[in-house]
Chains A and B, each alone.
Chain A
């Protein structure tokens, strides 16, 4: 049995906006193990930031309890804060301090020095070291992100909370950022990371899919795919619009979504055949199609779970 780093029970949180009550977190339960990369995956407004802030002891839940590294998020918050690293979604750096000054500042706040824990940030810091005399405000987005990660690591936390570190970041920088996370995990770090990008799920050990304050599923990326119910088909035609219209009006189709150049079609019947689908489309005037049965992606699973909830 893996050791537990985060334990979260019946967490609820709501906000009031002009007499409207908005439920941000609706009975959240989860466990995160040590030295795993745990991904909190969902769109904006799912409740990801609220959950991370509660676990980082920055806001209080309305009810429920949570422990991080054996510290209660409400009662042991002072001790908890020495054990966690937190990188908020909006940049947390002091814009008018230099790269080096930012790092030294964060180290001194935690009563440590950059030298003491340099081994933790070495790989990342050397990529921005040439700019160490530049102010943080003058760095590009990718460089700011690397500095923010160094600052979150400099007191040698046991667990790292990253709130949407790759939002608005291009595909190449996202790959590089995930390589850094994988390296940190190899060094034993527990990583709790949120993202709206479904394709990043496969880089996590386990994921929680989240929507409208609820956790739809917690498991490994491959288990999520196994839980997909029904069969999934990928279809292509030169007349994608007509294909989509025909599929949407067919009663045997549960879902039809565009996925780039193809349409993913979910059909709950396990034994429907390729021929049956082709015949239906032929009756609807669509003859030349490319069809194959496929494994669902995490995005397919997410949409199915959204529909069920």
Chain B
């Protein structure tokens, strides 16, 4: 396999009974890129992410993540990736520092590495004055930036971000993306979902899922040329409107 490819997906499929949630998708994610994974609610994004993060066995097809097979090496995938969900994933009644120590412990960081990391995160996020405050007293934007920093505390080669900026104010949303871009610049691969179509423009590659399939995938510039469109928003809306998928839950 090409050493520059960190996620390789070939004809990946997931069925729940008769329902095909993910329908024969294929794509590659290159190391260090920001890969935007778009789709309407119910298009199959979450199912695909769960397979790629080792949480769900596929029904068919192939996928390898960081060189590990999703069928047989899911534990290695889970230990190696970073993950941050839209639902805030920190412990509200622990302080900023305690949360970092807790997750650092889970990831098995040495005491030295962890202390070094904590100082680094405090410096980058400029949260020295909040470090001993309970996380629940922080504004949402701070929490999300902290949750992101913690999701990459163990220097994973790949991090999954599931709607990380929902509800965040416009300035903090941009600061959040600066964090993402800096960490991509340092070599971390970012796999991100979002409902903000302007954020799709910050991705190196954008894919759009419709009814379990990937109906469009390219750089934002090429997608706009291909669909003869001004912006990703209108491409997304046009594709999502072609959905024939009805209720399934």
Contacts and interface: CB of A to CB of B under 8 A. Distances in A.
Contact of B40 (A131, A170, A302): A170
B55 interface: no
Interface stretch (A109-117, A252-260, A286-294): A252-260
A306 interface: yes
Nearest to B139: A45
Interface string B140-175: 110000000000000000000001001111111010
A171 B141 contact: no
Given A44-B140, A171-B236, A142 B167 contact: no
A168 B197 contact: no
Interface residues of B, number: 41
B6 to A, nearest CB: 22
Interface in A1-33: 17-18, 20, 22
B140 A171 contact: no
B231 interface: yes
Given A140-B247, A260-B231, A261-B201, A43 B170 contact: yes
Contact of B169 (A131, A261, A306): A306
Contact of B134 (A18, A138, A259): A18
Contacts of A138: 249
Contacts of A142: 41-42
A17 B133 CA distance: 12
B163 A168 contact: yes
Contacts of A226: none
B168 A171 contact: no
B240 A170 contact: yes
Contacts of B75: none
A169 B167 CA distance: 12
A170 B239 CA distance: 12
A168 B86 contact: yes
Contacts of A303: 170-171
A196 interface: yes
Contacts of A196: 166-168
Contacts of A45: 139-140
Given A43-B169, A44-B168, A173-B40, A168 B140 contact: no
Given A258-B174, A260-B198, A167 B41 contact: no
Given A43-B170, A140-B247, A169 B137 contact: no
Contacts of B231: 260
B195 interface: yes
A172 B174 contact: no
B126 interface: no
Nearest to B199: A260
B167 A141 contact: no
Interface size class of A (residues with CB under 8 A): 35 or more
A84 to B, nearest CB: 24
Contact of B167 (A43, A131, A139): A43
Contacts of B41: 140-142, 168-170, 173
Contacts of B233: 171
B136 interface: yes
Nearest to B39: A170
B116 interface: no
Nearest to A307: B171
Given A138-B249, A143-B247, A259-B198, A172 B177 contact: no
Interface in A154-186: 167-173, 175
Contacts of A43: 140-141, 167-170, 172
Which of A20, A138, A261 has the largest number of chain B CB atoms within 10 A? A261
Interface string B103-144: 000000000000000000000000000000010110111000
B71 interface: no
Interface of B: 39-42, 86, 134, 136-137, 139-141, 163, 166-172, 174, 177, 181, 195, 197-202, 220-221, 231-233, 236-237, 240-241, 247-249
Given A172-B240, A258-B202, A303-B170, 20 more contacts: A17-B137, A18-B134, A43-B168, A43-B169, A43-B170, A44-B140, A140-B247, A141-B42, A168-B41, A168-B195, A169-B195, A170-B40, A170-B195, A171-B233, A172-B40, A175-B237, A196-B168, A260-B198, A260-B202, A302-B170
23 contacts: A17-B136, A43-B168, A43-B170, A43-B172, A44-B168, A44-B169, A45-B139, A46-B169, A138-B249, A139-B247, A140-B247, A167-B167, A168-B41, A171-B40, A172-B237, A175-B237, A198-B170, A257-B174, A260-B197, A260-B201, A261-B201, A299-B170, A302-B170
- Which 8 A/B pairs are nearest by Cβ-Cβ distance? A43-B169, A260-B201, A260-B198, A44-B167, A170-B40, A44-B140, A172-B240, A261-B201
